[in-house]
Amino acid sequence: MAIMTTLTTFLFLQKSILMDCEIEIEKLLANVFENYKSLDESCPSGLAHISGPVQESASTALAPAVQIFCLLHDILSPEGQEILKNYLKTAAKKRCRKHMAETDEYVSSNSEGFLLDSVTISTAYHKMKNLCLNISNEIEADIKITNEHVLPSSIDLSNIAAAVYSTLLCNRIRAFLSAVPPSCPQPHVNELLIAVSDFERSLDSWGISPVHGGIDSRGLFHNYIMVWIHDMELRLLDRCKAEKVPWSGVITNHSTSPFAEDMYERIKDSLMEYEVVISRWPQYTLILENTASIIERAIVKSLEKQYSEILTPLKDSIPKRLNLHVQKLTRRQSSALYSVPTQLGTFVNTIKRILDVLHQRVEDILRQWASCLPVVEDKKSLFGEQMNVITVLLRTKYRNYMQAAVDKLVSNTQSNKTTRLKKILEEIRENEREVEVRERMRMLCSQITDSISNMHDVFTSQIFVASCRLFWDRMAQVVLKFLEGRKENEVGYKGSYYALGIVEDTFASEMQRLQGNSLQEKDMEAPRSVIEARSILSRDTTNHSSYFYV
């Protein structure tokens, strides 16, 4: 009986010792797997300090630990796999906490309400960037260890660890951005954005499976980017509203408004701040296009307000839908001869430069970015709609104001019977010679010459040529209408020959005198009304003038 009792006691003690041994072995295995990157046989504890460099290969102690683990657990069973996975997850959390220690101060509750200076903010973002790089290095090391095939094939170390790293890093970045929000795409902000985006790209290139709650670089920065763009829009719109009068006596080398040049330079500089954002997510090009178009409209509106005093007299000449209203306004016009003001020249020159150069620069930046847009259900083709609207707006403004100015100059010729071309044509007698017609038109030609000089003084070369040709066409229209009214009666054709030639000679000689060799051949081509008038005149086989129309 005593022997049986002793044997039972022995077996109990043996079982107890074995259980204690198993527990200690489990603890030892847990310690090994939870510190698999810190195993170092040269250290008394067998573990190197966690702050040391990342080990990129499996420790020699890892393989025996795996063998012992497989003796204690069925590694093919879900339970056995889960135990080992939990050890490895714990290891990743430890490593992650070690790396995050340097950024804890920025997300702690004690830091709330404190204002950080620019240097501190820049340093904080630099530390967050380094955190992304360090975590990326950890995952790369896990991939290398996985490829050594030390761990069981059912254990995908790289995906297990990466899921932990990605989730914790995402939470830390979100908390950091909330605590130290980026106000605009400054260099230190862009550096962090690049680091986070590169981290996400690396996970994909390494074949790491996406995990719920893991890194989503665009999701982390999207709200901030939208705020930046909105702030940019408000900032530039405020500048437009602040400019209520033109800069007195100040013009650029292009004879344009410095305000417009300054605003477009600001738009360009503001857009270029988003180069890093667009290089990662081209989708924001469409949002920036819309913002740029809003600001461009505001610039044009501001220019019209600044120059309203000199634009108001032109509005009678700009086509309106309500013809009666136009007639009433026309009757209220002053009898004084109109002269194109210098400020009107500055305004029209500015609109033309915006159309040809400044707007094009903005569109070129956006179009280059749009070329990287992914094609999803033809959404790529959406780019350019807003830019086209602005182009049409600018072209319409330029054409309307230039035509209105020319129409005012044409109206000058109607103010006096000695300069009214229609009246002159009606009074020319059939037997009058060219020299006599030229004398009749002397006052008109003098007035046209003065108007051409006036336009040359205020407009840039390209606009000067365009306005002269329009003026030329308008005067030729008078001759054309006169001829069309006499299609069945050729009386007055000879005088019209002379008059049309004199008008042509006046415009051609003055444009040549003022522009010299800069005039191109196309600039001197006859406008449409001249060609149509020539067509009617050419039906008369007898040419009484030195001007040829056939």
Per-residue model confidence as pLDDT tens digits over 481-496: 988 887 656 656 788 8
| Span 414-419, average pLDDT | 89
pLDDT value, residue 484: 85
| Span 413-431, average pLDDT | 88
Cα-Cα end-to-end distance for the chain:
144
Q: Mapping DSSP to helix (H, G, I), strand (E, B) and coil, where does residue 73 land?
A: coil
Strands (E), 179-292: none
- The number of folded domains in the chain is 3
| Span 506-533, average pLDDT | 92
pLDDT at 542 over 50: no
Claim to verify: residue 240 and residue 163 sit in the same structural domain: no
Claim to verify: residue 473 and residue 343 sit in the same structural domain: no
d(CA 91, CA 97): 10
In tens, the pLDDT along 307-317 reads 999 998 887 66
In terms of average pLDDT, the best of 98-107, 111-120, 446-455, 530-539 is: 446-455
pLDDT at 48 over 70: no
d(CA 541, CA 548): 11
pLDDT at 515 over 90: yes
Tell me the C-alpha to C-alpha distance, in Å, between residue 222 and each of 197, 217, 282: 12, 8, 13
Claim to verify: residue 350 and residue 397 sit in the same structural domain: yes
Domain of 327? Answer: 219-415
Claim to verify: residue 57 and residue 126 sit in the same structural domain: yes
Claim to verify: residue 392 and residue 476 sit in the same structural domain: no
* More confident site: 275 or 245: 275
Single out the residue of 318, 321, 394 nearest to residue 351, CA to CA.
394
pLDDT value, residue 4: 65
| Span 212-233, average pLDDT | 97
pLDDT at 283 over 60: yes
| Span 85-111, average pLDDT | 89
pLDDT value, residue 492: 61
d(CA 359, CA 106): 43
Helix axes 284-306, 217-242, angle to 10 degrees: 0
Claim to verify: residue 177 and residue 51 sit in the same structural domain: yes
Claim to verify: residue 269 and residue 405 sit in the same structural domain: yes
pLDDT value, residue 191: 97
Which region among 35-44, 83-92, 303-312, 465-474 has the lowest average model confidence (pLDDT)?
35-44
Claim to verify: residue 171 and residue 230 sit in the same structural domain: no
pLDDT value, residue 109: 64
Claim to verify: residue 433 and residue 505 sit in the same structural domain: yes
Single out the residue of 310, 384, 302, 393 nearest to residue 345, CA to CA.
310
pLDDT value, residue 496: 86
pLDDT at 544 over 60: no
What is the domain-level CATH number for residue 260?
1.10.357
Claim to verify: residue 539 and residue 488 sit in the same structural domain: yes
Claim to verify: residue 194 and residue 123 sit in the same structural domain: yes
- Using pLDDT thresholds of 50, 70 and 90, give the confidence band for residue 328: very low
Domain end residue (candidates: 400, 415, 430): 415
Q: Report the chain's C-alpha Rg in angstroms.
A: 41
Question: What is the residue-averaged pLDDT of the chain?
Answer: 87
In tens, the pLDDT along 360-415 reads 999 999 999 999 888 766 555 688 999 999 999 999 999 999 999 999 999 999 98
